[in-house]
Amino acid sequence: MLKGFTRSYPPLHMLTAEQEASIHGGALYTMQKTGMQIEHQGALSLMAEAGCEVDFEAQRVRIPSWLIEECLRKVPSQFRLKARDPKQDLMVGGDSVYFMQGMGMRYIDLDTWETRPATGAEHRDAMIVADALPNIHLAEAWEIYTDRRNVPPVMGMLENLASGIRYSSKTQVAGNIKDTEIFAIEMAKAVGTDLFPEIEHACPLTIQEGGADAAFRYAEAGIPFVPALSVSSGATGPATLAGAVVLKIAETMAWVVMTQVHKPGAPMAIHHGISATDMRTGNKVLSTPSRGVGTAMMNQMLRVYGIPIWSNTGFASTSKKIDFQAGYEKSVGTLLSALTGGHVQMYQGGSSTELMYSPEMAVMEDDVAGWIGGVLEGPIFNEETLAIDLINEVGPIPGHYMGTAHTRKWWNKEDYFPQVADIEAYASWAATGKKDMLDNAKDKVAEILANHKPLPLSAGEDQALEGILVEARNHYRAKGMISDDEWALYMTELELTD
Amino acid sequence: MENEILAKLGKAVKEYDAPGAAALAGQAMELGIEPSLALDALTESIREVGDAFATGELFLPELVGAAEAMEAAMPIVEKVIKQRGETRASAGKVIAGTVFGDIHNIGKTIFSTLLTADGFEVIDLGINVPAEKFVETVRLEQPAVVAMSALLTITAQEQRNVIEALTAAGLRDGLKVIVGGGAISQRFAESIGADGYAPTAPGGVSLTRELLQI
C-alpha cells in the first residue's frame, strides 16, 4: 500500500464549535425547508420510502434532520482504494494525505504558451510521467487533455481512462458523461482496480439524473464515489464564505442521504472547492485567500461528519503560464488544505483555470508536494532525535556534526530534498547553463520518458480493455452521438496513436 | 404625477428593486401612462447602469440586480403594448440560451443582461434548452439573433444540432446564430456553421451589434 503522507499532529481549526453548530443547523434547516431538487425518479422513491417529504412532480425532496443524522453516521470515515498494482493501493481518510494529479483540458506549448488539443501520444506521455512521480498517489487520466484531437467528446473520458490504465498502475479518477460510467466500471473490473470517480453536481441545490445514476452505478459496483460540490461565490452560491459553506454542507447532506438510503455504508468522499467570482467578468478566480479559507472551513465540517475529503484548492491557478502566480496560487492553498485535514489534494500539473495540463509543471509541483508532505510529517520525536547526549558530546567549536553517526543516520529522514528546484550554489549554477526549475523539469520529463516503464497490463487485460473501448465506440456511434465525419477522423487518429 | 411615477420607475431599476419596479409599472399602466414612456424610463436606467458597469464603477451584482428589476417591470408594460397591437422598439430581438445537456447559467445570464442594458430585447430561454425549444421560439418570436452557450466540450456539439434543426425548419435564412462558452473556439463555431463566436459576454454584445450592423 502507498502511504502517502501522514499528518502527525491535529488538523488546524478555523471554526469555533459554535460556528460549526451554526453551519450544521443552517444546512439541516435548508434541507427541511427548501430541500433538494433531485431529477431522478428512482432516487425520489427511495427517499420517500426512507421518510423524506417528496414532491414527485416538482422533483423536490425535503429531508428530515433525523434521517440526515442517521445517514451521516453510515458513511465510512476511511476506505481502501485498490489499484491494479497492490503497492499503489491507498487508504483514504484519517490522518493520511494523498496528492492527486491535477487536470486541464489542453496541451500547452511551453515556448508560445498557446494551448491546443492533445494527441494520444501526448496523453500517454503525460500518464507515464505521472506514474513515475513519487508524490502523485492518484492519477487523473480522465481530466488531463479532455480536449483530445479528433476524439469525439462522448468518448473522451473512456479513451483517456484506458490510456491512464495502460500507462499507470495508480488508481484512476473517473466521472460520468452520458452513461459512460457503465463502460468505465467494466474497464476497472477487467484490470482489477478501483476508481475514484467524481460525480457531476448542479449548484445550487440540484442533483441531475445523470449524476444520481452514476453514483448508484458506482456504489453498486463497490467503487467509492465523490460528488463534486464546487461553487462560485456570489454566482452559484452566497457571496459570503459562511453562506457558501452552509450551502455546500446542505448539498453534502442531500447526497449522503440519497446514496446511503440506496446502499447503506457505501464508501464515498466529498470533493469541494470554493472560488471567488470576478464581478467584472463572471469568471472564476483562483487567486484569492477566500479559496483557502473556504477549504479550511469545508475540511473542518466534513471531518466532523467523518466524510473523507477531496480538495481541489490547488488544482489550477488563474495564471496562463508556469510562473510565480501559478506557484503561489496553487501551493499556498494546497498547504492550507493539507494542514486543515483534507485527505486528497488535487494538485500536480494543471493550470490556467482548467485549460492546460503540463507534465513539466507536474514534475515541478511534485517537489512542492514533497515539501508539503515534509511539513505534514513534522518532526520525528524520540530520545535519539532529541540528540541531547550528542550535543553535549560535540560541545562548542571546533566541535561539529558532519562526521557523526547520528548525522549519517538522520540527515535525510525529516526532510524532502527537491528533484528539480534549483538548489545549486551560484557558481555551479552559472557554469552548468543557468538552468531554472522549469529547465530542470523539462530534462526530468525527457529522462522519465526515456527510462520509466509503467507496470504493463497482461495481454488478456489489454485485450479486455480494447474490447470495452470498441464496444463503447460502436454504442455511441449507433446512438448518433458520433457523426460519420467524426468517426472517420477518430479512426484515423487512433491508428496514428497505435 | 406622471413624471413622478416614471422617475420612480427608473429609480427602482437603479436601486435594484424588482418588486418596486413591478408595482410602479403596474401603477403607471393603470394610470394610462403611455407604455413607450415607461419603456424609455426603464431602458434609460438600465443603460446608465450598463455604462457604469462598462467603466468599472459598478459590478455584475449591480448590473444583474438592475436587469432583474427591469425584467420584473417589462412584462407589465409589454402586455399593454401588445393589447394595443403595437410592437416594442429595441435595438433588436435576441434569443439566448444554454444548450441541452448543459446547466451552466452564469455566462449566458451576463451576456443577456449586457444585451438588455445595451437596448436589445432579450428572450432568455434559460439552461438545458432542447433544440426544439430554440426552433419553436424562433418561429414564434422571429428574432434577429439566436445566441447559444455551452461550457462543456460534450455539450458544445448540441449547438450544431440546434443549427441543423433551425435549417431543417426553414428558419436559418436571415437569422444570425452566434455561439460562446468555455468549450467553444472560432474554429469550432465555423465548423458548425455559426455566424459568429465571442469568447466573453461583452464580446458577444459587440458581435451582435457587428452582425446586425448597428
Give the pLDDT confidence of A414-443 residue by residue, as tens digits.
999 999 999 999 999 999 999 999 999 999
Look at strands A90-93 and B93-98 and give their pairing.
Answer: unpaired
pLDDT at A254: 98
Residue among A146, A206, A208 whose CB faces B153 most closely: A146
Residue among A156, A236, A239 whose CB faces B153 most closely: A156
Among A181, A281, A489, which would you mutate to test the B interface (most chain B Cβ atoms within 10 Å of its Cβ)? A281
Q: For B6-21, what is each residue's pLDDT tens digit?
A: 999 999 999 999 999 9
Convert chain B into a string of H (helix), E (strand) and C (coil).
Answer: CHHHHHHHHHHHHHCCCHHHHHHHHHHHHHCCCCHHHHHHHHHHHHHHHHHHHHCCCCCHHHHHHHHHHHHHHHHHHHHHHHHCCCCCCCCCEEEEEEECCCCCCHHHHHHHHHHHHCCCEEEECCCCECHHHHHHHHHHHCCCEEEEECCCHHHHHHHHHHHHHHHHCCCCCCCEEEEECCCCCHHHHHHCCCCEECCCHHHHHHHHHHHCCC
The whole-angstrom distance between residue A403's C-alpha and the CA centroid of its chain comes to 43
pLDDT at A70: 98
Segment holding A414, helix H or strand E: none
Tell me which residue of A289, A292, A312 sits closest to A99, measured CA to CA.
Answer: A312
Of A66-70, B85-89, B107-111, which gets the smallest average pLDDT?
A: B85-89
User: Distances from the Cα of A423 to the Cαs of A211, A360, A373, in angstroms?
Assistant: 47, 18, 19
Report how far residue B34's alpha carbon sits from residue A233's, in angstroms, rounded to the nearest whole number.
41
pLDDT at A340: 98
Closest CA of chain A from B67, distance in Å: 15
Q: How many CB atoms lie within 10 A of CB A199?
A: 28
Q: Average pLDDT, stretch A277-285?
A: 88
DSSP secondary structure, A273-300, as one string: EEEEE-TTT--EE--SHHHHHHHHHHHH
Q: Do A282 and B110 touch (CB under 8 A)?
A: yes
Q: For B160-200, what is each residue's pLDDT tens digit?
A: 999 999 999 999 999 999 998 877 888 889 989 999 999 88
More confident call, A262 vs A481: A262
Report how far residue B198's alpha carbon sits from residue B214's, in angstroms, rounded to the nearest whole number.
17
| Spatial contact of A206 and A61, defined as CB atoms under 8 Å apart | no
Interchain CB contact of B154 with A (< 8 Å): yes
Tell me which residue of B154, B147, B128, B148 sits closest to B212, measured CA to CA.
Answer: B147
Q: Which three cell numbers stand for residue A204?
A: 445550487
Contacting residues of B for A281, CB less than 8 Å apart: 60, 110, 200-201
Report how far residue A472's alpha carbon sits from residue A476's, in angstroms, rounded to the nearest whole number.
6
Q: Is the pLDDT of residue B102 over 80?
A: no
Measured between its terminal Cα atoms, the distance across chain A in Å is 32
Q: For A91-114, what is each residue's pLDDT tens digit?
A: 999 999 999 999 999 999 999 999
pLDDT at A156: 94
Residue among B59, B105, B153 whose CB faces A147 most closely: B153
pTM of the predicted model, to two decimals?
0.92
Q: Is the pLDDT of residue A472 over 80?
A: yes
Q: For B82-101, what is each residue's pLDDT tens digit?
A: 898 888 878 899 999 999 87
The share of chain A scoring above pLDDT 70, in percent, equals 100
Nearest CA in chain A to B107: A282
pLDDT at B107: 84
| Spatial contact of A225 and A192, defined as CB atoms under 8 Å apart | no
Of A90-94, A249-253, B46-50, B105-109, which gets the smallest average pLDDT?
A: B105-109
Contacting residues of A for B156, CB less than 8 Å apart: 153
Cell 525527457, located at residue = A446
Segment holding A93, helix H or strand E: strand A90-93
Report how far residue B45's alpha carbon sits from residue B41's, in angstroms, rounded to the nearest whole number.
6
Closest CA of chain A from B85, distance in Å: 36
Q: Do A280 and B153 touch (CB under 8 A)?
A: no
Cell 485498490, located at residue = A82
CA atoms within 13 A on the CB side of A262: 26
Cα dihedral value A325, A326, A329, A333, nearest 10: -150
Contacting residues of B for A277, CB less than 8 Å apart: 60, 106
Classify B2-83 by CATH class: mainly alpha
Residue A486, classed as helix, strand or coil, is helix
Q: Do A280 and B103 touch (CB under 8 A)?
A: no
Q: What is the DSSP letter of A87?
A: G
Report how far residue A113's alpha carbon sits from residue B94's, in angstroms, rounded to the nearest whole number.
36
Interchain CB contact of A282 with B (< 8 Å): yes
Contacting residues of B for A234, CB less than 8 Å apart: 61
Confidence bin at A496 (pLDDT 50/70/90): confident
Phi and psi dihedrals of A360, rounded to 5? -65, -40
**Above 0.90 for ipTM, yes or no?**
no
Q: Is the pLDDT of residue A449 over 70?
A: yes
Closest CA of chain A from B182, distance in Å: 9
Q: Do A153 and B153 touch (CB under 8 A)?
A: yes
| Spatial contact of A227 and A201, defined as CB atoms under 8 Å apart | yes
| Spatial contact of A229 and A215, defined as CB atoms under 8 Å apart | no
| Spatial contact of B29 and B77, defined as CB atoms under 8 Å apart | yes
Report how far residue B120's alpha carbon sits from residue B99's, in angstroms, rounded to the nearest whole number.
21
Contacting residues of A for B153, CB less than 8 Å apart: 105, 146-147, 153, 156
Nearest CA in chain A to B184: A147
Confidence bin at B157 (pLDDT 50/70/90): confident
Q: Is the pLDDT of residue B103 over 80?
A: no
Q: Average pLDDT, stretch A29-53?
A: 98
Report how far residue A284's alpha carbon sits from residue A280's, in angstroms, rounded to the nearest whole number.
11
Select the highest-mean-pLDDT range: B83-87, B120-124, B157-161: B120-124
Largest CA distance in chain A: 84
User: Distances from the Cα of A327 to the Cαs of A151, A334, A348, B22, in angstroms?
Assistant: 32, 11, 11, 49
Q: How many CB atoms lie within 10 A of CB A320?
A: 17
Q: Is the pLDDT of residue B132 over 80?
A: yes
Interchain CB contact of B50 with A (< 8 Å): no
Q: How many CB atoms lie within 10 A of CB A496?
A: 11
Q: Is the pLDDT of residue A494 over 90?
A: yes
Classify B93-212 by CATH class: alpha beta
Domain boundaries defined on chain B: 2-83, 93-212
Q: Do A153 and B156 touch (CB under 8 A)?
A: yes
pLDDT at A498: 67
DSSP secondary structure, A436-467, as one string: -HHHHHHHHHHHHHHH--PPPPPHHHHHHHHH
The whole-angstrom distance between residue A196's C-alpha and the CA centroid of its chain comes to 9
Q: Do B154 and A154 touch (CB under 8 A)?
A: yes
Selected residues 83-142 of chain B with any CB under 8 Å from a CB in chain A = 103, 105-107, 110
pLDDT at A83: 97
Q: Do B201 and A282 touch (CB under 8 A)?
A: yes
Interchain CB contact of A154 with B (< 8 Å): yes
pLDDT at A398: 95
| Spatial contact of A491 and A469, defined as CB atoms under 8 Å apart | no
Interchain CB contact of B180 with A (< 8 Å): no
The share of chain A scoring above pLDDT 90, in percent, equals 94
Q: Do A279 and B59 touch (CB under 8 A)?
A: yes
Interchain CB contact of A37 with B (< 8 Å): no
Nearest 5 degrees, angle CA A88-CA A94-CA A97?
50
Segment holding A106, helix H or strand E: strand A106-108
pLDDT at B200: 85
Computed over every residue of chain A, the mean pLDDT equals 96
The share of chain B scoring above pLDDT 70, in percent, equals 100
pLDDT at B100: 85
Q: Is the pLDDT of residue A381 over 80?
A: yes
Report how far residue A360's alpha carbon sits from residue A345's, in angstroms, rounded to the nearest whole number.
19
Confidence bin at A360 (pLDDT 50/70/90): very high
Cell 463566436, located at residue = B197
